[in-house]
Structure 1
């Protein structure tokens, strides 16, 4: 990635951070505005419908408590508010118990009544049973509802003053500290609820903010039967089975400003005010739209930004889900605005011994951090989805959506299934056998399924037969596998002569593979033995060839130290030292050459070389030695040029080594033949001579390192000449071959013309 592109990515990231922090800063800066807006929607706690509802239901709780106090015993809510229903249920249960006893005593003897009377009695009993079930259910509902009334009113009664008065105005229960709630001006909220002798509730004096609304709401709530939802339709108009309201009693409730503030603090009604105003959510959604626009605009300036991170190439479904979650998360941060405006965060930090300035900074930082999260996620979502304009809708749906990934997976799966089915070759024995087995099994199962109930028995017999066949087949496979495993273990232990005579059925291909492995191991063993032998020969021959000139050098150095040596002797010693040192140098150079050739560390300088001229040049360089050798060289070279892409120095060395070998090892006063000609696509060079020594070696071994035709190693050769020649020929895509016939030694070199 070049510097200009990296700088563009950095600028895009910085712009994103600025946009996110700016949006978060706007939200935090508008906290005073949110506080003022919520104040417009903040309703006194006593004006809320939920509060008024539980205040009216509290009449039933206080009325029952007053009755229990007067009687000095615990009274069931159902017994108190449904006295006739309680009595009827008790009598019905007693009659039912007596009826069960009489039926048990009567037994099964005698005809007690006619059939018509029996039917009528059954009908009456069903009706009575249904009424008993209704009364039982009504009792359970009454107890459950009363517990709910008591629980909710219990959460309110500690924050209000209340009194219970009889019809004459006498205070029966006082929870107002001796003050008269109805006649006191200390109460911000006040409500007097009277019940007449028929149980009808009348709303008396009511004071507070929006008093007319309070009056109407209390009147509406007092006119409702709180148990009406539990009356069955057929019993809804029976007055004896309805709730009995309090009678001839007055309930007075009052709340002073301190009690109202404490109750609002307890119930945290300020949260509802912020939610009712909706200002936080509206401003937040507006800033979300602004962030989306800014993100889209800045992403157009750097369309390649998603390439730097896989996170910016998240699938569309994940992006949409996370972005929606971020929006919901942001709307839920209204609570953060509330606790900040109320000073709860600041107070908590002050209690933790923070300095005032540090506490204010921490509150600002905390709010910025939380508001930055949804804006950052939305910015990220826009960058991820913006890539659809850069790579195209089709590619985006394929590469950046979970549905696209799933479609690709299904497509690849179908392709693999299609390929698998297409590769089934019924001409092969295994595929044909499996296909037949599956087909026969399908036909059998189809027939058995058509037999309905009888097919179950046939299926059992078929399963037993299938088990026996499969068990036999498995055991046969297991036996053949054991034979195969035993043979492989023997080969692993070194027994390369093991043979498998049995038919291995499905494992028959493994049998042929094992035989190939055996042959391969045998070849490897032979090669390893040969390699070890060459290493041994290398050490022995190397020590002998290097030790001979080195010993001579040491000897003549000691002779030079003799003070009695004449100048002529010293000159002769120096000549011998020079000869032996050059011999040692030649050995070492040959060793380096063959080492580089074997390690493929030779650099070839290929050029167009006329090998006919090159061979003539080598012969001229060796002309003195050729004349001294008394060997008659017969040259049969073409008149035209033969140009090949070769390394001239390496090729010169090849011809030099081969001609030097003829001079060293050929029988004196014999003829040597050097031929060169084209044979098809090759140039063939043949060198033939009669060996002075008997040729008892293997022709393939003569090209190995430190192997000589002179086994006594009395000549001056290094044993590396043929190895170097063969390596250089093969490095130049040629082939060197040795042939021996009696005492005739022949070297054949083939080079491709092109």
Structure 2
């Protein structure tokens, strides 16, 4: 990525941050407006659901207090609201204590009453479960009562109330002695009456929106506040249900001053910021503005999604997170209310922050939370904007979970198809068959779980399976035809035929046919090479043998001439001897190479010091070396190097190679003979500059009848290098010929044991 593109990405991210911070700052700046709007929608406290719920719960608290005052001793909530359950629990406890005191803690079991024992154990298990439930119910009742009392205590001192008995007499007064019912000084008043069965009735209501208040009070009065805490097996036992107050009437009243006191406190029971809807309206407007800005600013850097995977999130996830971000922003009304009421500021002051710093931290805290929904919206638009760049089809395929799933299904189907098509028929087939059956079982199991819809799905699956099998059969038939065609062409002698396409399950046959082709080609090449060598044998040997034979015949005829002087006769005889020795050498070399190639050579292996052997050969060829004017440079180790070799054959190797240098090296140049140990091998390297231009292949020079002198004017059979290579290889070595310009180099490697 170049620097210009990186800078463009940075600018795009910076613009996004500025837009998000600007939108968040607007929301924070509008906090005073939200406060004014919320005050217009703040309903009276007596119309609020939480207040009315605490009011009904207060009936249980007041009845409990009256019971304690009447009895003059402490009575637990469990005893008051569940009297029969409390008595049952008390009797169970007394029976347990009596059983422990009498020592009856063992179970008496006899053979005659085994059935009775089973029934007794069953009853014991049931009693234990009921005892556990009673203990659970007792704990829940105490906890619930504490919650009711806590809620009622939060409002009881801010209103007037009276408790009356069944005769209408005031038995508890918290109104200063004035009658609440029908008193005009109370803006809100209600009378709740419980009959002898504990049913609550709203006798009277006075106040604004009385229909709503009546509905809420009646709903709370008819609902058992402990319904969610009963166990299912004891849900319908009346003795284990909460007992409402009976034959009791409670009156509540709120004056204008008391309602104002409730309004001025921060401990309201509803969020009037939600009721005003001003925050949500402004939030929606800013969200739309951020989305529009994000859309147009995205044209400044259309390749931004390529720089980060975060901007290539699937559509479904973007939509889910975007909606969640907007809903999160709508839920920040509590943050606005808490900030406007000064709770955050007071908390920071109590933490010993300076007022100025506390004010800044409150604003930064609000900016942080508001930046979340706007940042999510901006990010979502950038993700969705890419649909214009890559196209709707590619976007649906690459940027949606459904597209990914469809792509996965497609790839799975293709892999399954290729898996079935690439089964190796030479392998054991049980595993392949098991996989195919397993896949089919999985598909059928899924279809069977669809019940009625599974029949229709099975129908479409059968059609799909038919189409797949037909395509597979046709592909298989075409691949078989291609394989058959290739084998016919090979049978007709076309060894260069190539099978390019994939043959599926016939792929192993394709590889075997290619091996057969390669084998045939090697055999044909070897045969052609052999025929060529035979031709070379005839042509080269006829030329090399004809020359000395012609000379012998010529000089024999000259010897028959009676006019030949004794001196001439002696010279002719020397030439005849020379030519016959040349003919003998040619025939011996031919026999040597023939035996070497047929592995008919007998090696007499012995410990040979190849350093001394090479020196011995150089001494034998000393006269020829001096006549050649070639400067031989020897670099041989001082210590012995002993190898298990055939001394005679090794001597012949060195003799042929040194003789080859003497014959074909350029006069008045240097030749280098090096010997050293290297990586477990003895390496002997002979280098010289050729007198003639080296135009041949270095691999051909070691073949039979190959000569550096292509005109064959120099002496030699063309078998020297071939014999040397054959003898080296027979003794587990390797001879390599290399050419670099006019530099001719021969390397021999023998392993050191």
What's the TM-score once normalised by structure 1's chain length? Answer: 0.46
What's the TM-score once normalised by structure 2's chain length? Answer: 0.46
